[in-house]
Amino acid sequence: MTITLEVNGQRHVVDATGRRLLAVLRDDLELLGTKLACGEGACGACAVLLDGRSVNSCLLLAEAAAGHEIVTIEGLSTGRASALQDAFVAEDALQCGFCTPGQVVSATALLEQTPGPTREQIHEAMAGNLCRCGAYPKIERAILRAAGDA
């Protein structure tokens, strides 16, 4: 089915038949920041914002995503996201960087909903974004820092 997707504020017409949103983002729209790491919703590397909430784009059917506002890591380049990204760099909240776009997406949604999160709230909100390199302690610090600077 051909559908219209709204991604990062722009509309795209794509052939979405049977495809997941992640494949359309990466293969059709060349938005390569969102990653395929597991394809089963277990790691969060594919996280995008759907109407402001962080979801696994590897599970989401592109057809089901039509009519919603989709924001990828590429769309998070101003305002809070940028301060968050700065905090990630300053705190070294990343190592290989593969999971980082997903982390930033989920953290952005968290700070939007809860501007001053506790450590507990950060753990709850970020638990769906795995990091095999183990940057977690610093991811937590980066989010607290960005929240504090806001």
Partner 1 sequence: MSSYARPASVDEALELLGHEGAVVLAGGTDLAGQIDRGITTPALLVDLQDAGLGGVSADGDGVRIGATVTLAELARTDLLTPYAAVVTAAALAASPLLRNQGTVGGNLCQHTRCWYYRGEEWQCWLGGGDTCFAQIGDHRKHGLEEGDCISAHPSDLAPALAACGATIVVRSADGERELPLLGLYRRPTDENRSLVTLAVGEMVVAARLPAPPDASVYLRTGERRTFSFPLVSVAAARRGDALTLAAAGVANIPRALDPAEPLAGLPGHPQSAWKRTVLETLVERASQAVQG
Partner 2 sequence: MTARFVRTQKELEGRYEDVWVLVDEADDVETWAPDADLALVGRPAPRQDGAARAAGRVRFTVDVHLAGMLHAAVLRSPVAHGRVRSLDLEAALAVTGVRAAIGPESELSLTTRAPLLAAEPAYAGQPIAVVAADTPEAARAGLDALALDLEVLPHVVDPQQALNEQRFTADPSDDARGDAEAALAVADVRVELSLDTPAHVQTPLEPHAAVASWDGDQLTAWVSTQGMFSAREELATAFGLRKDDVRVRTEFVGGGFGAKQGAGFEGLAAAELSRATGRPVRLVNDRHAEQLDGGRRAATRQTVRLGARRDGTITAIDADAVIAMGQGGWVMPVLIPARTLYHCADVRALTFPVKINLRAQNAFRAPGVMEGTAAFEQAIDELALALDLDPLELRRRNHTDVDQVSGLPYSSKHLLACYDRAAELAGWAGREELRASRGDGLLRGMGCATQIWWGGGGPPSHATVRLDADGHAHVVTGIQDIGTGTFTGAQIVAAEELGLPLDHVRVTGGDTGPNVYGPLAGGSQTTPSVMPAVRSASAKVRKILLQLAGDVFEIAAGDLEISNGRIRSRDGAIDAAVTEVTDKLGNATIDGSGSRGPNPEGFVVNTFGCQIAQIAVDPGLGEVRVERIVAVHDVGRIVNPLTASSQVEGGVLQGMAFALSEELVVDPTTGVPVNAHLDDYKIPTIADVPEIVIDFPHVPDANLPNVGSKGLGEPPIVPTAAAIANAFAHATGRRAAGLPLTRARVLEALA
Q: 75 and 85 in contact (C-beta within 8 Å)?
A: no
Residue at 75: amino acid letter: G
Cα–Cα dist 102/41, whole Å: 12
Closest CA to 62 of 96, 8, 23: 23
The reply to whether 108 sits near partner 1 by the rule CB under 8 A is no
Minimal distance, residue 103 CB to partner 2, in Å: 9
Site string for partner 2, 113-142 (x = CB under 8 A): ---------xxx-xxxxxxxxxxxxxxx--
The residue among 57 and 85 lying less far from partner 1, judged by its C-beta, is 57
**Distance of alpha carbon 48 from alpha carbon 42, whole angstroms:** 14
* Binds 89: which of partner 2, partner 1, none (CB < 5-8 Å by kind): partner 2
Name the token pair of 26: 């990466």
Residues within window 8-47 making contact with partner 2, judged by CB under 8 A: 23, 30, 32-40, 42-43, 45
Cβ 99 to partner 2 shortest distance, Å: 5
Judged by beta carbon, residue 8 or residue 50, the one nearer partner 2 is 8
Examine residue 131 and tell whether it contacts partner 1 (CB under 8 A). no
Question: What is the spatial distance between Cα 102 and Cα 57, in angstroms, rounded to a whole number?
Answer: 10
CA dihedral angle for residue 92, residue 94, residue 96, residue 98, rounded to 10 degrees: -160
**Chain residues in the site for partner 1 (CB under 8 A):** 1, 17-18, 20, 39-41, 44, 47, 50, 53-56, 58-61, 63-64, 106, 123-129
